[in-house]
Structure 1
Amino acid sequence: MRNRSHRSRAVLAVVAAALLGVAGCDATGGDSPAPNGSTAAGRPSPRPTPAWDRSPGSVAAVGDSITRGFDACTVLSDCPEASWATGSDAGVRSLAIRLLGAAGAAERSWNYAVTGARMADLPGQMAQAVTREPDLVAVMAGANDACRSSVSAMTSVAEFRTDFEDALDTLREALPKAQVYVASVPDLKRLWSEGRTNPLGKQVWKLGICPSMLGDADSLDAAATLRRDTVQDRVEAYNTVLAEVCAKDRYCRFDGGAVFDYRFGTDELSHWDWFHPSKSGQAWLAETAYRVVTARKPVA
């Protein structure tokens, strides 16, 4: 009996040891920590989302006549002090002023936009901007690519994409983590529909402002309608490019089409040409940019 009892206890001890060994061999099960870089289920851990600085310390602007404040103050003239991006006008309260304050904007914001510039000019402007090492670059370009002498002269969508990618590459080669705000191209067809109600505006348009959209402003025949619709389709394609390219850059934020979608009226248009933004329009652009830059999450 003593021998049988001894053997029984030995068997029980072996079984217990085996069970404890099985319970402890699953390195990723139960409460055991998963290996570095993986989840408990063995899947790779998601890459952390890069931090977006909602309070950048300096701003550079690139783009065209809108960012230069063209016709916001006097006829057929740049007015950079009224620029939505870097202007000093207290009524506009530019993006730079909203982010940096008036004194900070005067010291740490720079405007490299050029009236008449197209997307092909953006890489060169970006090369100038990076010399300042800005924390944020504000971009608004593309209207002049659609505003050409004719529909056939508009920048192709493929060229537009290549030029925008080249501009971002120029920035990234010098400043890998600089942030970028990209405004959508405005709704040119709405500019036509709003401005054509003003006889003086239509006379100014005849000087050569955006002929592809604004030429023969009163004509509503099939050819004129097709021409305007073609320009509008190209603008929408440009905005798709801006959204797609920006989405591939972890430090880029697109406005989600806010500028294109804005239902502006004549108060937001320059009363010198009924095409470029007035100071009121510039203020709205500044407010929109500030909202996107300081949002906790990118615009969906």
Structure 2
Amino acid sequence: MRKRGHRSRGVLAVAAAAVLGVAGCDAVGGDSAAPSRAPGPSPKPTPLWDRSPGSVAAVGDSITRAFDACDVLSDCPEASWATGTSPGVDSLAVRLLGRAKAAERSWNHAVSGARMADLPGQIAQAVRRKPQLVTVLIGANDACRATPSAMTPVADFRADFEDSLRTLRKALPKTQVFVASVPDLKRLWSQGRTNSLSKQVWKLGICPSMLGDADALDTEANQRRNTVQQRVEDYNEVLEEVCSEDERCRYDGGAVHDYRFGTAQLSRWDYFHPSVDGQARLAEIAYRTVTAEKPLT
């Protein structure tokens, strides 16, 4: 009996030791290894798109130069949607940087009358400033030719745009690009054709491929306008496709082209270029695109 009791106490001791040993595996101490700590949260990756760039350079044509926005037959860069300082516009640069910094940290390299073939040269000028954001609005002059047959071929339009982005990327790999769609020229015709003054001004040679013979509604005239409209849509498709291949490029999703502008947004001198109000609408679209969490579609 004693031996059996002694043996029982020994078994209990071993069992107790085993229980304590198991408990020791769950706690820090003894010979057991300390449990590994859960990893902390990974640092957030730097986003490819900065919604508050610190400087802006604009390239493009007379729209970005605010031609005929303030005075007849003259540029008015202070009213530019991209870089102007006019309170009546609140340009993209002003909205991003504030009025004081916009005057120091934004540059307008657009040229009235420019076509896509001129963009590589403008980009080459812009990169010297090392801007954090470049705005592009160009293409209307490629469609506004003497005749539809004189419009810039789509393949050439694409090649020059691709060349422009390559030039930018080679010099400034991290600079962002905002690309505006080409405006709806046919809507411009439909808005202005009821105004006798606008039709007189258009006869001076403003966008003849679309605005020439504004009252003509015959088959030939309609076909001419439809051909120009299709070319504008083709240009916008190129802008979207090429921009989408660059991770630091944002297209406006067709917002400028689709904007339902009226005569209040057109210059009272030529009924073609944006008025100060029209420039403000362009600035709104650009700011919305640049500051959006995700690209517009």
TM over 0.5: yes
Identity %: 76
Decide whether the 8 Å contact of 2:48 with 2:247 is kept in 1.
no
| Deviation of the 1:58 alpha carbon | 0.1
| Deviation of the 1:51 alpha carbon | 2.3
| Deviation of the 1:256 alpha carbon | 0.2
Q: Taking structure 1 as reference, are residues 57 and 97 closer, same or farther at Cα in structure 2, changes over 3 Å only?
A: same
Is the aligned partner of 1:284 residue 2:281? yes
Decide whether the 8 Å contact of 1:72 with 1:276 is kept in 2.
yes
Aligned partner of 1:213 in structure 2 is 210
Secondary structure at 2:238 match in 1 = helix
In structure 2, how many angstroms separate the alpha carbons of the residues matched to 1:102 and 1:277?
A: 21
| Deviation of the 1:76 alpha carbon | 1.2
Per-residue deviation, residues 95-132 of structure 1 (Å, max 9, x unmatched): 00000001110000000000000000000000000000
In structure 2, how many angstroms separate the alpha carbons of the residues matched to 1:198 and 1:72?
A: 19
Decide whether the 8 Å contact of 1:50 with 1:250 is kept in 2.
no
Stretches of structure 2 that go unaligned for 5 or more consecutive residues are 1-44
| Deviation of the 1:284 alpha carbon | 0.4
Decide whether the 8 Å contact of 2:135 with 2:179 is kept in 1.
yes
In structure 1, how many angstroms separate the alpha carbons of the residues matched to 2:67 and 2:282?
A: 14
Of 50, 58, 69, the match for 1:61: 58
Q: Taking structure 1 as reference, are residues 151 and 91 closer, same or farther at Cα in structure 2, changes over 3 Å only?
A: same
Is the aligned partner of 1:248 residue 2:248? no
Per-residue deviation, residues 180-236 of structure 1 (Å, max 9, x unmatched): 000000000000000111111111111111000000000000000000000000000
Superposition misfits of 4+ residues, deviation over 2 angstroms: 48-51
Aligned partner of 1:257 in structure 2 is 254
Letter of the 1:219 partner, please give it: A
In structure 1, how many angstroms separate the alpha carbons of the residues matched to 2:165 and 2:64?
A: 18
Decide whether the 8 Å contact of 1:143 with 1:185 is kept in 2.
yes
Secondary structure at 1:260 match in 2 = helix
Decide whether the 8 Å contact of 1:122 with 1:164 is kept in 2.
yes
Letter of the 1:241 partner, please give it: V
State the aligned residue count. Answer: 253
Is the aligned partner of 1:195 residue 2:153? no
* Structure-to-structure mapping, 1:48-87, within 5 angstroms: 50-87=47-84
| Deviation of the 1:290 alpha carbon | 0.3
In structure 2, how many angstroms separate the alpha carbons of the residues matched to 1:196 and 1:95?
A: 31
Is the aligned partner of 1:164 residue 2:189? no
Secondary structure at 1:62 match in 2 = strand
Secondary structure at 2:98 match in 1 = helix
Letter of the 1:91 partner, please give it: G
* Structure-to-structure mapping, 1:19-34, within 5 angstroms: none
Of 235, 239, 255, the match for 1:238: 235
In structure 2, how many angstroms separate the alpha carbons of the residues matched to 1:129 and 1:205?
A: 33
So what's the TM-score if we normalise by structure 1? 0.83
Decide whether the 8 Å contact of 2:244 with 2:250 is kept in 1.
yes
In structure 1, how many angstroms separate the alpha carbons of the residues matched to 2:102 and 2:78?
A: 11
Of 101, 105, 115, the match for 1:104: 101
In structure 1, how many angstroms separate the alpha carbons of the residues matched to 2:261 and 2:69?
A: 15
| Deviation of the 1:54 alpha carbon | 0.4
Aligned partner of 1:29 in structure 2 is none
Stretches of structure 1 that go unaligned for 5 or more consecutive residues are 1-47
Decide whether the 8 Å contact of 1:58 with 1:109 is kept in 2.
yes
**Which has more radius of gyration?**
2
Secondary structure at 1:180 match in 2 = strand
Decide whether the 8 Å contact of 1:62 with 1:139 is kept in 2.
yes
* Structure-to-structure mapping, 1:4-153, within 5 angstroms: 50-153=47-150
In structure 2, how many angstroms separate the alpha carbons of the residues matched to 1:185 and 1:175?
A: 25
Letter of the 2:215 partner, please give it: D
Aligned partner of 2:178 in structure 1 is 181
